[in-house]
Amino acid sequence: MSNPLLDTSSLPRFGEINPDHVLPAIQQLISSHREQLNTLLAQNSDPNFKSLVVPIELMEHELGRVWSPVTHLQSVLGSRDWREAFKQALPLLTEHGTEISQNVRLQRAYAGVGDSLAADACESHRSAVDHALRDFHLAGVDLPEADKNRFKEIMQELAAIQASFEHNVQDAMDAWSLHIESADDLVGIPQQTLDRAADDAADRQLGGWLLLLNYPTYDAIMTHAHDRQLREKLYRAWSTRGSDQGDNPEWDNSDNIERILALRHEAANLVGFDNYAEYSLATKMANSNDEVLDFLRELAARSRDAAEQELSDLQEFSEMELAPWDITFWLEKYKQAKFSVSNEELRQYFPAKTVISGLFALAAKLYDVSLEQGHDIAVWHQDARYFSVKNSAGEVIGGFYTDIYARNGKRSGAWIDECIGRQHLNGKTELPVGYLVCNFPPLDDTGLSLLTHDDAVTLFHEFGHMLHHLLTRIDIPSVSGINGVPWDAVELPSQFMENFAWSYEVLSECSSHVKTGEPLPREMFDKLEQTRTTGAGLAMLRQLELGMFDFRLHAEYQPDNPITALQMLDDVRKEVSLLKHPEYNRLPHAFSHIFAGGYAAGYYSYKWAEVLAADAFSAFQEVGIFDLETAQRFRHEILEVGGSRDIMDAYIAFRGRKPTIDALLRQDGIQAE
């Protein structure tokens, strides 16, 4: 096959595909799928699931397989060529997706299949059809032709602007640096960070140290740098990324934000919703805007006293009024003073490779699987790895790539994405494969990357998502794995897994001191465990601030008199936040989750799902966290079912009841046991 990107017979051929392959592959595939669709509709006078839905699912699955490496590589390589290829192909895919979703003949055919399904039809078949019919409506299939065309234009423009938003953030981060020549300015900063900064300076023929704007560096400075002015410099750089207040105003996202909000509101109105928040909830567990806001405000009200006490304790401890760039530093100092444990001391016990090994051992214990590294699999970077996942019989059930170390040009944050979704519709089974990406400190000259405990929690979180993708037993791609799961429940498996990173039995397997090889001492873990609830109230209010800002911004948007993102943020902070933020703070301008990702009017999902996760983990705590019967029930009722089942029904089948927020408040130490 001349274009390796079109080869879906195996894993992506990362050693061969290049940006020049992208546009021809997408053009060819879309053209082929259009022909197939026209033939399918012409020949299907009496459609059923096998004759209509199966071929549609297979086409979407194939397109996903071809596009997935493109979206992945433009995120992790920092290549202008890959970014340009992505930008060229994205409008074609957006147009094609809207074209299918607005195809009246296809919608009617799906409706006919839905009517013909027997009452006892396979649950996954019913869900796939119901989800498709819902999505037809959300894409404007019922609209007059002029409105349908306008909706299509909106989707095209949104895709382009959202990509521009994220690229602006990345460009601003890549362009920023701070050259430090005096060691006196770097007191308190971990050696691992200093070594990396020295290497970065040397790479540019500079002496001293060069601080870059990636998350590991930013976090290290904010947590450990004694120099308050240095902390504020990093805070300012981080909080002004992609804005008029940053060093590169040519990458200002202000206009992008306004246009994104206007387009989303217009699209929602076109298909019958009062605002984009209502439109967003059509695919979520929550039933109304009021339900979401009431949920967020209840959590805020029940957390406020604890947060106020925490802030008072920190200010008394530091003997100063704290600014946003002080909180993390003094919280770390407070933990050290109160519990005699520090992030840097803990870091010595968490080499990345040891944490990964222990995490894999936990998955084996809970879900009876084994994970083995593949050594002859093509990858995109020397840091990337591939692992196959096998069941108890030794049969491969899936696989995943990892790329966990930070580097310039790589998108910040941590995430998983689908490489291949599970499907068994055409006589053969395609197994799920995913990408797991983090931005941990790069390997040093000895091959070590030492993680903080927070880093370990992040890794557990993303691996929870990956297990959700890998352990699915659903054969229909649109409702397999994470697909089709309500967005405010997607975080349940990930946040559930975080809890195991707070278990001594687990951490003793995930730790080995960098010099002695000894696991984390029990005494040190006990101190670490005491820190879990320290600052939890402030952290809760911070997340609620983000969730409320996002939701209200989309729910209250008025095109004739739009409130700006900064005005809304100020309003929300007056209601929720305890800190005074500087005028230059431009949080929205780098809030890629909601302006470039899938969390628009859905950032509340983190807290919504955290309630589910805390409540679910309490089921394990009641019988022992390694209880195999409970683990298998969680796997069967939650991880395996994908979007084939109503998530609340699935949760009740696992837990025996609906969740309550009390487990989360107890877990965070906000509510007494």
| CATH number, residue 51 | 1.10.1370.40
Strands 433-440 and 209-212: unpaired
Give the model's pLDDT for residue 119: 78
Please say whether the dihedral angle defined by the alpha carbons of residues 665, 440, 380 and 204, taken in this order, is positive or negative. positive
Higher pLDDT, 408 or 254: 254
Shared domain check, 222 and 94: no
Q: Is residue 366 part of a domain?
A: no
Q: Is residue 481 part of a domain?
A: no
Shared domain check, 237 and 191: yes
Give the model's pLDDT for residue 634: 98
Q: Is residue 217 part of a domain?
A: yes
Give the model's pLDDT for residue 563: 87
Give the model's pLDDT for residue 219: 95
Shared domain check, 188 and 153: no
Q: What is the pLDDT of residues 435-456, one digit of tens each?
A: 999 999 999 989 999 999 999 9
Least confident span in 76-80, 250-254, 367-371, 503-507: 76-80
Please determine, for residue 646, whether its predicted confidence score (pLDDT) is greater than 90: yes
Please say whether the dihedral angle defined by the alpha carbons of residues 650, 654, 660 and 664, taken in this order, is positive or negative. negative
Quick one: tokens of 486? 């309500």
Instruction: List all residues 6 or more positions away from 302 whose beta carbon is below 8 Å from its beta carbon.
Output: 661, 665, 670, 671
Shared domain check, 147 and 35: yes
Please determine, for residue 120, whether its predicted confidence score (pLDDT) is greater than 80: no
Least confident span in 24-28, 117-121, 202-206, 302-306: 117-121
Residues 226-235 have a mean pLDDT of: 98
Give the model's pLDDT for residue 672: 66
Q: What is the pLDDT of residues 29-45, one digit of tens each?
A: 999 999 999 999 999 88
Q: Is residue 132 part of a domain?
A: yes
Residues 307-317 have a mean pLDDT of: 97
Q: Which of 210, 234, 251 finishes a domain?
A: 251
- Domain containing 98: what range? 4-170
Nearest to 11 by CA among 550, 521, 377: 377
Shared domain check, 150 and 35: yes
Shared domain check, 156 and 70: yes
Give the pLDDT band (50/70/90) at residue 673: low
Quick one: tokens of 643? 């979007």
Q: Is residue 527 part of a domain?
A: no
Please determine, for residue 218, whether its predicted confidence score (pLDDT) is greater than 80: yes
Residues 481-489 have a mean pLDDT of: 94
Please determine, for residue 343, whether its predicted confidence score (pLDDT) is greater than 90: no
Q: Which of 235, 251, 267 finishes a domain?
A: 251
Shared domain check, 164 and 180: no
Q: Is residue 619 part of a domain?
A: no
Shared domain check, 162 and 198: no
Shared domain check, 161 and 128: yes
Whether the full predicted model's pTM is greater than 0.75, yes or no, is yes
Q: Is residue 192 part of a domain?
A: yes
Q: Is residue 228 part of a domain?
A: yes
Q: Which residues partner with 210 through β-bridges?
A: 179
Shared domain check, 131 and 225: no
Q: Which of 229, 251, 273 finishes a domain?
A: 251
Under 8 Å between Cβ of 473 and 124: no
Give the pLDDT band (50/70/90) at residue 212: very high
Residues 354-364 have a mean pLDDT of: 98
Split into its structural domains, the chain has a count of 2
Please determine, for residue 1, whether its predicted confidence score (pLDDT) is greater than 90: no
Residues 353-371 have a mean pLDDT of: 97
What are the Cα distances from residue 539, in Å, to 11, 458, 543, 619?
Answer: 40, 15, 6, 25
Under 8 Å between Cβ of 249 and 584: no
With tokens 């089948």, the residue in question is 653
% of residues, the chain, pLDDT over 70: 100
Residues 327-344 have a mean pLDDT of: 93
Shared domain check, 199 and 160: no
Residue type, 483: N
Shared domain check, 213 and 196: yes
Quick one: tokens of 183? 């060691």
Please give the positions annotated as active site: 462
Please determine, for residue 535, whether its predicted confidence score (pLDDT) is greater than 90: yes
